[in-house]
């Protein structure tokens, strides 16, 4: 087997099709050549898809590992939070607000003041930020254009071709 790239095979196939249209080959020559090029191109594309599936599998494995590590991170963070809370409870139970050791200084800080909203509707307007979110209904716009309506500010466009492999 030659070391020909898939793109080169595809280009050769296109050139051969152009030659076929000019009639420079006999029908038998054309059939044999096309079959050979299609076979080689098919083998190359099969190899590409084998590699693609391998990469997709690796990406899925990394995604799963990322989720597992994220869960593990949360577990460690919760353990640290619980241990700090336990240390605070021990400090408070001893009646101390501050304790100095050779390695750390433990202080029971006063709580931080925070705002709790009981009923947002009762707040004065000058203390509320108003946010307006607009989002086009693309499904409805597509249906309207497909039904012959002209929608100012929108049009339909066919996207790039994509590869479907079964």
Residues 142 and 156 sit within 8 Å (Cβ to Cβ): yes
**Per-domain residue ranges of the chain:** 6-146
46: nearest Cα among 6, 14, 1: 6
Distance CA 62, CA 59 (A): 5
pLDDT, one tens digit per residue, over 53-99 is 888 999 999 999 999 999 999 999 999 999 999 999 999 999 999 99
88: nearest Cα among 76, 101, 98, 103: 98
Strand duo 98-100 + 105-107: pairing? antiparallel
pLDDT, one tens digit per residue, over 91-140 is 999 999 999 999 999 999 998 889 899 999 998 889 999 889 999 999 99
Give the tokens for residue 17. 């099709």
Instruction: Express the helix, strand and coil content of the chain in percent, nearest 5 each.
Output: 60, 5, 35
Per DSSP, the three-state class of 162 is coil
Distance CA 11, CA 17 (A): 10
What predicted TM-score, i.e. pTM, was given to this entire model? 0.54
């Amino acid at each position: 087997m030659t070391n020909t790239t898939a793109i080169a095979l595809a280009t050769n196939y296109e050139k051969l099709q152009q030659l076929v249209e000019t009639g420079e080959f006999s029908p038998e020559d054309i059939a044999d050549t096309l079959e050979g090029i299609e076979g080689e191109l098919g083998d190359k594309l099969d190899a590409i898809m084998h590699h693609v599936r391998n990469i997709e599998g690796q990406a899925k494995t990394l995604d799963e590992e990322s989720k597992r590590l994220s869960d593990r991170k949360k577990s460690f963070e919760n353990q640290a939070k619980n241990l700090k809370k336990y240390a605070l409870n021990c400090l408070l139970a001893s009646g101390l607000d501050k304790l100095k050791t050779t390695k750390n200084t433990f202080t029971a800080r006063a709580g931080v003041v925070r705002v709790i909203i009981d009923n947002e509707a009762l707040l004065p307007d000058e203390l509320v930020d108003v946010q307006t979110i607009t989002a086009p209904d693309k499904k409805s716009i597509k249906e309207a254009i497909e039904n012959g309506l002209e929608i100012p500010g929108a049009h339909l466009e066919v996207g790039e071709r994509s590869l479907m492999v079964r």
